[in-house]
Amino acid sequence: MNRQEIDALVKQMNIDTATANVNPRIQQIVVRLVADLFQAIDDLDISQTELWKGLEYFTDAGQANELGLLAAGLGLEHFLDLRADEADAKAGITGGTPRTIEGPLYVAGAPESIGFARMDDGSEDDLIDTLLIEGTVTDHHGNLIPNAKVEIWHANRLGSYSFFDKSQADFNLRRTILTDANGKYVAQTTMPVGYGCPPQGTTQALLNHLGRHGNRPSHVHYFVSAPGYGKLTTQFNIEGDQYLWDDFAFATREGLVATAVDITDEAEIARYGLNKAFKKIEFNIQLIQTQDQAPSTEVIRRRASA
């Protein structure tokens, strides 16, 4: 079949046969996606058995709640970031901390505090290094932004996230910190370990067929927002991890690589109120002022809440 025949066929299938509530945007998107699918079936001579295999895959992935993970693993989420960067550039927006993907593991409703939060529940104290994260939130001139909302979430020493891993306490390693009067935030937590896709899951099954691993480097997620500034979705990825530049979700970016510095000096340890050597990461965040011509950076998607 040629494209004209395919387009004609798809159009026919999308003629309104009912009168109410047509959504022209959905119509436009579905017509295009269906035509592109037909084209791919034709080009690749996809068999009926293969087509059903694909539909069954989506059924299984949806039932396993792994479609968000799949979107990360297929690079869809990263692709949308690259498009958002392009849209910013077109609108003349430059600078600020780079964005990178949210991933599928955010949970709304984490405990809030001002200036400082301890994020871990102490259960990993003897098993993993303490990590101290500190930084400021500023505008792109370097002016400090007090009262900015810094939402932080990360994995434990096994690469697992609370809520999704029911063996952890609710909101373990998830906090919302409002920057203090000096625009500063400090988080005391534990060193995260990189995430790996569930080995028996639907995402890993597909990655296996593609000859790909399903691992992420050690990283910490952020949402940062303040009135008058675009909401920033980002992460830092930690230097030294074998997957730093081999992330199955393509989230590591220049400007988002953090170095964990070993702090062993007794006076420094005492100054932070700690009782053992720890690692420290400085992660400063620059927000961009909202502009009329700027595309919104707020992404609406279904998220867990606890």
From start to end of the chain, where are the E strands?
107-108, 112-114, 116-118, 130-138, 149-154, 174-178, 184-190, 219-225, 232-238, 257-258, 261-263, 278-282, 285-286, 304-305
- Structure token digits, residue 35: 């035509």
DSSP assignment letter at 239: T
Among 104, 135, 217, 230, binds ligand MBD (CB under 6 A): 104
Q: How far is CA 59 from CA 41, 67, 75, 153, 208, in A?
A: 20, 10, 20, 29, 19
Among 61, 72, 117, 263, binds ligand MBD (CB under 6 A): 72
Q: Within positions 83 to 102, which residues make up the interface with ligand MBD, using CB under 6 A?
A: 101
Q: Is the backbone of residue 301 left (phi > 0), alpha (psi -120 to 50) or beta?
A: beta
The mark string for 105-124 relative to ligand MBD (x by CB under 6 A, - otherwise) is x-------------------
Q: Which residue has the tokens 């297929």?
A: 74
Question: Residue 214 binds what, of Fe ion, ligand MBD, none (CB under 5 to 8 Å, by partner type)?
Answer: none
Among 96, 103, 183, 201, binds ligand MBD (CB under 6 A): 103
Among 6, 35, 61, 69, binds ligand MBD (CB under 6 A): 69
Q: Which is nearer to Fe ion, 103 or 230 (CB)?
A: 103
Residues in contact with ligand MBD, total (CB under 6 A)?
A: 10
Q: Do 116 and 92 meet the contact criterion of CB atoms below 8 Å apart?
A: no
Q: Exposed (0-12), middle (13-18) or buried (19+): which is 217, by Cβ within 10 Å?
A: buried
Q: Which stretch binds Fe ion (CB under 5 A): 35-43, 80-88, 96-104, 273-281?
A: 96-104
Q: Which stretch binds Fe ion (CB under 5 A): 68-76, 103-111, 279-287, 295-303?
A: 103-111
User: Between vectors from CA 243 to CA 259 and to CA 108, what angle results, nearest 5°?
Assistant: 75
Instruction: Give least dist CB 74 to Fe ion, A.
Output: 16
The mark string for 211-240 relative to ligand MBD (x by CB under 6 A, - otherwise) is -----x------------------------
Instruction: Give least dist CB 197 to Fe ion, A.
Output: 11
Establish if 103 lies at the interface with Fe ion (CB under 5 A): yes
Dist. CA 35–CA 268, nearest whole Å: 63
| Contact positions vs Fe ion (CB under 5 A) | 103
| Contact positions vs ligand MBD (CB under 6 A) | 69, 72, 101, 103-105, 195, 216, 249, 251
